């Protein structure tokens, strides 16, 4: 039986947290190297760098430069809010999120769209990742100014005033970001369930990440008077989509809604108004319980 690198990573994060130490860039770099090797991502991630000047969150992945950048200073702000354990595990999830973007690019390169053995769900994922990734379509980084971005994404409900607005709104609806978030959150929950031996700590960590999963599932859904607007459809409606991808979208989703046996929350697709209300109420209760536990 081979080495379980994910157990090694989990135990390393646990030890640092137990000693009340924040994960260092060196720690994250070592984890990154292990995962790149395990998942054969060396063609997609060639650099891992610390950048504490990043304006938009904890980490980012550049397809063009094949580089993951990590903002350690940003993560330190989590400690006073969530404590050292949650902060360190959250940092690991941020790393997994960016590595998932590299995996998405690998998927785009390896997927044979004309292979009839591929399922409709695999075709759907290919189309959505292709539409929303930097590898194929335009993202905020591709525009020199906000005026050009607003013209390209002219159907969004807001006219962006700052790049922070751009990233927040774009992130909310973008399928690639949704997949990278949910897949990394699922991985974290799986690691905790598999490797954590302390029942109280396991329940605490699983509760936190489960709340993050539900938050991500409901992100970008907008409820009108009696209809719910799904984020992925909003994203596609707002893009100047290549006709090739538009036809894939129509053929896979619009013409097969009753045949697609998939989780609509994962893909950001249509849900009923009642399901949306139930999910939102459930999330509100989760957040309330979480606040009470961290008091």
pLDDT class of 3 with cuts at 50, 70, 90:
confident
pLDDT for the residue 153 = 57
Q: Is the pLDDT of residue 17 over 70?
A: yes
| Helix 175-195 × helix 79-110 angle, to 10° | 120
Distance of CA 54 to the CA centre of its chain: 18
Check: CATH 3.30.2010 for 1-109?
A: yes
Q: Delimit the CATH 3.30.2010 region(s) of the chain.
A: 1-109
Both tokens assigned to 242: 């290549």
Both tokens assigned to 162: 């700052």
Give the angle subtended at the CA of 236 by the CAs of 232 and 237, to the nearest 5°. 115
Rounded-to-integer distance, Cα 128 and Cα 268, Å: 10
Strand ranges, E, within 63-163 = 67-70
pLDDT digits (tens, 9 = 90+) for 166-222: 666 777 888 999 999 999 999 999 999 999 999 999 999 999 999 999 999 999 998
pLDDT for the residue 142 = 60
Both tokens assigned to 111: 């997927």
Rounded-to-integer distance, Cα 165 and Cα 186, Å: 28
pLDDT digits (tens, 9 = 90+) for 109-156: 988 877 878 877 887 888 888 877 655 555 555 665 566 666 655 555
């Amino acid at each position: 039986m081979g080495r379980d690198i994910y157990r090694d990573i989990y135990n390393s994060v646990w030890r640092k947290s137990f000693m009340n130490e924040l994960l260092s860039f060196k720690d994250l770099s070592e984890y990154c190297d292990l995962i790149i090797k395990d998942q054969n991502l060396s063609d997609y991630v060639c650099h891992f760098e610390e950048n504490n000047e990043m304006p938009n969150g904890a980490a980012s992945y550049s397809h063009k430069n094949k580089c993951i950048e990590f903002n350690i200073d940003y993560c330190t702000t989590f400690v006073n809010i969530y404590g050292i354990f949650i902060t360190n595990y959250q940092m690991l999830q941020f790393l997994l999120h960016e590595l998932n973007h590299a995996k998405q690019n690998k998927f785009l390169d390896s997927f044979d769209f004309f292979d009839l053995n591929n399922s409709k769900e695999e075709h759907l994922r290919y189309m959505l990742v292709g539409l929303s990734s930097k590898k194929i379509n335009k993202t905020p980084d591709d525009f020199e100014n906000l005026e050009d971005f607003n013209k390209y994404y002219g159907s969004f409900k807001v006219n962006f005033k700052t790049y922070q607005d751009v990233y927040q709104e774009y992130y909310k609806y973008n399928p690639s970001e949704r997949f990278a978030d949910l897949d990394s959150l699922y991985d974290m929950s799986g690691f905790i369930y598999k490797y954590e031996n302390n029942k109280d700590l396991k329940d605490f960590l699983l509760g936190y990440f489960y709340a993050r999963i539900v938050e991500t599932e409901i992100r970008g859904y907008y409820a009108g008077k009696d209809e719910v607007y799904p984020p992925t459809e909003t994203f596609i409606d707002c893009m100047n989509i290549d006709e090739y991808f538009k036809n894939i979208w129509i053929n896979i989703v619009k013409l097969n809604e009753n045949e697609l046996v998939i989780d609509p929350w994962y893909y950001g697709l249509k849900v009923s108004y009642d399901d949306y209300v139930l999910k939102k109420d459930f999330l509100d209760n989760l957040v309330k319980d979480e606040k009470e536990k961290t008091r």
